Amino acid sequence: SESLDVERIREDFPILEREFAGEQLAYLDNAATSQTPDQVVDAIAHYYRHTNANVHRGLHQLSQEASIAYEDAHDRVADFIGADGRKEVVFGKNTTEAMNTVAYAWGLAELEPGDEVVMTEMEHHAALVTWQQIAKKTGAEVKYARVDDDGYLDMDHLRELVTDDTEMVSAVHVSNTLGTINPVSDIADIAHEHDALCFIDGAQSVPHMPVDVKAMDADFFAFSGHKMCGPTGIGVLYGKEHLLEEMQPYLYGGMMIEKVTFEESTWHELPWKFEAGTPPISQGIALAEACDYLDDIGMENVQRHGEALAEYAYDRLSEFDDIDILGPPGDDRAALVSFNLGNVHAHDASEILNDFAVAVRAGDHCTQPLHDKLGIPSSTRASFYIYNTEEEVDKLVEALDAARELFA
Pick the closer one to ligand PMP by CB: 6 or 366: 366
Pick the closer one to ligand PMP by CB: 308 or 336: 336
Pick the closer one to ligand PMP by CB: 30 or 138: 30
Strand duo 220-224 + 26-27: pairing = unpaired
Pick the closer one to ligand PMP by CB: 105 or 400: 105
Using CB under 6 A, which of the segments 10-18, 94-102, 213-221, 393-401 binds ligand PMP?
94-102
Options 198, 229, 291, 366, the catalytic residue = 366
Question: Judged by CB under 6 A, which of 81, 90, 117, 172 binds ligand PMP?
Answer: 172
Pick the closer one to ligand PMP by CB: 67 or 100: 100
Pick the closer one to ligand PMP by CB: 66 or 102: 102
DSSP notation for 17-56: G-EETTEEPEE-BTTT-----HHHHHHHHHIIIII---SS
Q: CB-based contacts of 29: which residues, under 8 Å, 6+ apart?
A: 359, 360, 361, 381, 383
Active site residue 291: no
Q: CA of 149: how far to CAs of 24, 180, 326, 333, in Å?
A: 37, 12, 10, 15
Instruction: Determine, following the binding rule CB under 6 A, whether residue 35 of this chain makes contact with ligand PMP.
Output: no
Give me the sheet containing 166-172, strands edge to edge: 89-92, 235-239, 220-224, 197-201, 166-172, 116-120, 141-145
Residues 192-231: x/- map of binding to ligand PMP (CB under 6 A)?
A: ---------x-xx-------------------x-------
Question: Judged by CB under 6 A, which of 86, 124, 143, 157 binds ligand PMP?
Answer: 124
Minimum CB distance to ligand PMP, residue 68 (Å) = 27
Residues 14-33 that bind ligand PMP (CB under 6 A): 31
Residues 297-336: x/- map of binding to ligand PMP (CB under 6 A)?
A: ----------------------------------------
d(C-alpha 336, C-alpha 327), whole Å: 10
Instruction: Determine, following the binding rule CB under 6 A, whether residue 290 of this chain makes contact with ligand PMP.
Output: no
Instruction: Determine, following the binding rule CB under 6 A, whether residue 126 of this chain makes contact with ligand PMP.
Output: yes
Instruction: Determine, following the binding rule CB under 6 A, whether residue 366 of this chain makes contact with ligand PMP.
Output: yes
Instruction: Determine, following the binding rule CB under 6 A, whether residue 176 of this chain makes contact with ligand PMP.
Output: yes
Instruction: Determine, following the binding rule CB under 6 A, whether residue 101 of this chain makes contact with ligand PMP.
Output: no
Instruction: Determine, following the binding rule CB under 6 A, whether residue 51 of this chain makes contact with ligand PMP.
Output: no
> Does the CA dihedral 64-65-66-72 come out positive or negative?
positive
Q: CA of 311: how far to CAs of 1, 196, 211, in Å?
A: 12, 36, 21
Count of residues near ligand PMP by CB under 6 A: 14
Q: CA of 314: how far to CAs of 172, 335, 352, 364, 371, in Å?
A: 22, 10, 20, 19, 19
Instruction: Determine, following the binding rule CB under 6 A, whether residue 96 of this chain makes contact with ligand PMP.
Output: yes
Minimum CB distance to ligand PMP, residue 261 (Å) = 36
d(C-alpha 236, C-alpha 222), whole Å: 6
Rg (alpha carbons) of the chain, rounded to whole number: 22
Q: CB-based contacts of 253: which residues, under 8 Å, 6+ apart?
A: 276, 277
Burial state string for 214-246 with b = 16 or more CB within 10 A and e = fewer than 16: eebbbbbbbbbbbbbbbbebbbbbbbbeeebee
Minimum CB distance to ligand PMP, residue 98 (Å) = 8
Under the rule (CB under 6 A), what is the footprint of ligand PMP?
Answer: 31, 94-96, 124, 126, 172, 176, 201, 203-204, 224, 235, 366
- Residues labelled catalytic: 366
